[in-house]
Chains A and B, each alone.
Chain A
């Protein structure tokens, strides 16, 4: 009977989660390398015997497990293939469309198994609230990462970020909106889509926060964002369609609020058929970084650390830049002249400096949106 089957499905999810709570996340399963270095506890390349030793140990492991890295997100596809070619290490990519919570679940459920993810790319609040699952590590370029973008001991480090932006199909929309205020105009009736449901999608959540900043709110007050989308829903401007490349191509979602790097990647994809304009709204400037961390039970501890070194090297940072995302070391690299100027020039202009919310502000805003979103927009 379908009812029972669906019930089982819900129950089974619960069961896996509960089991994960019982699995002890004990010591590392990885044995020290042949030369005696235990990379699972090394907090820097020097501490483990130098970068060359790290490369050798990683190549001996031969594999890196990554999770929740979509190939078309911030250039992760090229990032992975470049790493594989450079070091001759196979990257096993699990659950590319997974969420931050899925990553944490995988770390907890798989424990010390060799299928467990070695490295994680998490939303900031998931990094903050799971520090005890990570192995602190400082990459060689540690000093050029801004202070606010890393945990003091290197348990997590911001990797790349972007701004909330407005993507717009210039073939369907006569005048593309440039600001949140523009979005309320009657000419955009039935055209504005938010990337998902803000109670589960981080980019949609950021869109609500950006709208709050545009509507008189602050990092302490996200309520005007709910009011804004409530008005969009009332006026019929808001589409409750989850925008995907398919809905954008078919014209179902002519205006999409999303991270600028995703909107810009979209622009390249559809360039042949129409122009997908991307604007970072000046009235609701909101940026956010993702956080990178190493699983403390990483089955391939050296490869996990080599991956971090690769990500924060000039090569890795420029690969994110090629994915239209802003890497954590962008300022330092621009000063040193190692950032690819042609790639920087492609980024949409941003007026002003973004402010970043603290964890307390994020938690408070999460609660407000989770409780109020449905009521505001339905």
Chain B
């Protein structure tokens, strides 16, 4: 039977052969990353660090963080993103919990409400851009349907200072896609709260409040924080909705970049636009690192 035995190939060689082949499978992904992430990133960085003649300079980056209009854009972008992330995270988490604990309509079946909400969230979280802005203008604009309906009912939104093209109006519009995104992001974490923990807590005499404060919220905290960071990034990079709704009249980083890269007023400001892009990349990078760290903590409880 010795003939049938495999030639004495060293195991190590087989293993390295295998890992080499496995690495080959990564090639398309790495190429994709290089072309669509590495290349653009390189051009943004090199453009941000050079003047219109191609000579190296730090002026663009300095201008992008010191000039008052860009600082205003930073401030309102961050206020808008943080505000809508917070509102979206709180409202989304409550909604997701409410839906998860809703009673099934028939024994053993998946609750109808839950199915509806998760489907709707999947659709609404990605309903953004110009169609969303149009929907809000048609509903809550100066001559919008809801505005006129309310006016007929005696509530004049615009007389009381509300405007759809203000920062508040923009925040309202963003919350529209932030809440469903939060539902999608937080549902798995909420499902990870084992019923046994609650039962154990109740057996030991804990009230519902104590259970949430001492057990559920500490376990959920990293997941909640991580989801809120994703919402922040989602709002921070939103461009089309803001532009369509306010036509650039609210200073935001994406619209400031658009003015610099493709406008009719500022000639020769492209490198400053790229520097602003670099600033955004850095902010998002910080957010992503925070997200990864929080995810690592969150997974401690989910590894069952």
Contact flag A377-B237 (CB < 8 Å), given A200-B264, A250-B143: no
Chain B residue nearest to A18 (CB atoms) is B43
User: Closest CB-CB distance, B158 to chain A, in whole Å?
Assistant: 7
Complex Cα distance, B273 from A10, in Å, reads 10
Q: Give the residues from 107 to 130 in chain B that come closer than 8 angstroms, CB to CB, to chain A.
A: 126, 128
CA distance A348 to B47 in the complex (A): 46
Q: How far is the CB of A360 from chain B (nearest CB, A)?
A: 13
Question: Is residue B56 within 8 Å, beta carbon to beta carbon, of the partner chain?
Answer: no
Is B268 within 8 A of A129, CB to CB?
yes
- A130, A241, A371 interface centre (most CB from chain B within 10 Å): A241
A273 — which chain B residues lie within 8 A by C-beta? Answer: none
Residues of A within 8 A of B41 (CB): 11
A87 at the interface (CB under 8 A from B): no
- Contact across chains for A99 and B263 when beta carbons are under 8 A apart: yes
Contacts of A240 in B (CB 8 A): 163, 165-166, 246-247, 249-250
Note all chain B residues with C-beta closer than 8 A to A377: 249
Residues of chain A lying within 8 A (CB to CB) of residue B234: 2-3
By beta carbon, the residue of chain B nearest A190 is B158
A31 interface residue (CB < 8 Å to B): no
Q: A61 interface residue, CB < 8 Å from B?
A: no
Residues in B221-247 with C-beta less than 8 Å from chain A: 230, 233-234, 236-239, 246-247
Contact of A99 among B167, B247, B262, B273 (CB under 8 A): B262
Are B264's CB and A3's CB within 8 A?
no
User: Which of B205-213, B251-259, B294-302 sits within the interface?
Assistant: B251-259
Report the bound CA distance from A131 to B3 in whole Å.
82
B142 interface residue per 8 A CB criterion: yes
- The answer to whether B67 has its CB under 8 Å from any CB of chain A is yes
- Say yes or no: B69 contacts A372, CB within 8 Å: yes
List residues 13-70 of chain B with CB under 8 A from any CB of chain A.
36-37, 39-41, 43-44, 46-47, 54, 67-69
- B165 partner residues in chain A, CB cutoff 8 A: 239-241
Interface membership of A81, Cβ < 8 A: no
A125 interface residue, CB < 8 Å from B? yes
Are A21's CB and B54's CB within 8 A? yes
What separation, in Å, do the CA atoms of A296 and B79 have in the docked complex?
A: 46
A99 touches B43 (CB 8 A): no
B274 in contact (CB, < 8 A): yes
Closest to B44 in A: A14
* CB nearest neighbor in B for A377: B249
Please report the C-alpha to C-alpha distance between residue A284 and residue B262 in the assembled complex, in whole angstroms.
28
* Contact, CB under 8 Å: A19 / B43: yes
| Known contacts A11-B40, A197-B255, A201-B263; 14 further A-B pairs (Cβ under 8 A) | A7-B237, A7-B281, A8-B40, A10-B281, A12-B40, A14-B43, A17-B43, A196-B247, A199-B266, A200-B248, A200-B263, A239-B142, A240-B246, A371-B68
24 pairs of residues in contact across A and B, judged by CB atoms under 8 Å:
A3-B284, A11-B41, A15-B39, A17-B43, A18-B47, A18-B274, A98-B262, A99-B262, A101-B263, A126-B264, A128-B267, A197-B249, A199-B263, A200-B258, A200-B262, A201-B265, A241-B247, A242-B248, A370-B259, A370-B266, A374-B69, A375-B68, A375-B69, A378-B251
